[in-house]
Amino acid sequence: MSWIDTHVHLDAPEFDADRPQVVARAQAAGVPMLVLPAILAKHFDTVRQLAHEHGLAYALGIHPLYVGQAADDELDQLAEHLRRHAGDPRLVAVGEIGLDLFVPGLDLARQEHFYAAQLKLARDAGLPVIVHVRRSADLLLKHLRRIEGLGGIVHAFNGSDAQARQFIDRGFRLGFGGAMTFERARQIRHLAASVPDHVPVLETDAPDIPPHWLYRTAEARAQGEATGRNEPAELPRIAQTLAELRGWTLEETARRTADNARAALPRLAALAA
């Protein structure tokens, strides 16, 4: 079986000590293809270099949690990188972009400005988008309605059935990862079980969103036991939850989610056959 992890922050400092080993463990676990989304312009070259070094895929974008740190010219930098690397087959999307209404103190107007501008850049580049959503589905959809023809992946979706349907109707796939493994995540598990077969894709968001077997309680963290770092090698075990929820075999889960990932990010087809 061959899996696709559609969301890995391989450039994160948590991987500085053993990045090649992280990729090797993923490959040994049957996860040869990872998609590496950027979060700021200063990371664009890094994710591109990592993708080429390890035979992976990457996306370029400015994350909503970091727009406060972003320089005013970062959208111009993104446009230039998209032009410069337009022919790069490993550049598969614009992302990670979106809106976050969960974290307090963020400038929503600046988030919307960056999100809307990046949607237009993706449209002009002919690329899908990888979208960050936290309590922001309706506002994300509002902007998407203004730009026809965009699709991609809604990362770590945890909205309502109606919101899910609106993204699906616009051609988006929904990303499911470690959060799905927690029994208390009832809405995520409901969505994972009930969306149409062509919708689910798998992701780890490594090093973040650990599955339940890596999670540490607040008490454990207070005692100095760190939250377990997530890795793309965990994807097949995470996928077992999706298989159980949908009544699929693991083989069927691997095939369907990989097909869905290639449909969402068409350039993956030439990279992850």
Q: What is the pLDDT of residues 34-67, one digit of tens each?
A: 999 999 999 999 999 999 999 999 999 999 999 9
What percent of the chain has a predicted confidence (pLDDT) above 90? 93
Q: What is the pLDDT of residues 86-96, one digit of tens each?
A: 999 999 999 99
Q: For 95-124, what is the mean pLDDT?
A: 97
Q: What is the pLDDT of residues 189-224, one digit of tens each?
A: 999 999 999 999 999 999 999 999 998 655 654 455
Q: What does the pLDDT read at residue 219? A: 60
Determine the 3-state secondary structure of 140 from DSSP: helix
Neighbours of 234 (CB within 10 A): 25
Q: For 20-41, what is the mean pLDDT?
A: 98
Q: Which residues pair with 100 in a beta bridge?
A: 134
Report domain extents, the chain: 4-271
Say if residue 227's pLDDT is above 90: no
Domain covering 4-271, topology: TIM Barrel (3.20.20)
Q: What does the pLDDT read at residue 221? A: 47
Q: What is the pLDDT of residues 131-141, one digit of tens each?
A: 999 999 999 99
C-alpha 80, offset from chain centre: 23
What 8-state DSSP symbol labels residue 12?
S
Q: Band of the pLDDT at 228, cuts 50, 70, 90?
A: confident
Q: What is the pLDDT of residues 145-189, one digit of tens each?
A: 999 899 999 999 999 999 999 999 999 999 999 999 999 999 999
Contact criterion met (CB below 8 Å) for 92 and 69: no
Q: What is the pLDDT of residues 75-84, one digit of tens each?
A: 999 999 999 9
Return the residue matching tokens 């307090």. Answer: 104
Out of 169-183, 226-240, 243-257, least confident range:
226-240
Please enumerate, as own/partner, the contacts of 215-222 that have beta carbons within 8 Å and a separation of 24 or more.
Answer: 215/182
Return the residue matching tokens 């989304």. Answer: 37
In the sheet that holds 172-176, the strands lie side by side as: 4-5, 33-37, 57-60, 91-100, 129-134, 152-155, 172-176, 200-202
φ, ψ dihedrals at 170, nearest 5°: -90, 5
Return the residue matching tokens 């200063």. Answer: 42
Nearest to residue 9, comparing CAs of 79, 56, 69, 73? 56
Q: What does the pLDDT read at residue 131? A: 98
Q: What's the Rg (C-alpha) of the chain? A: 17
Contact criterion met (CB below 8 Å) for 230 and 210: yes
Gap between the Cα atoms of 37 and 63, Å rounded:
9
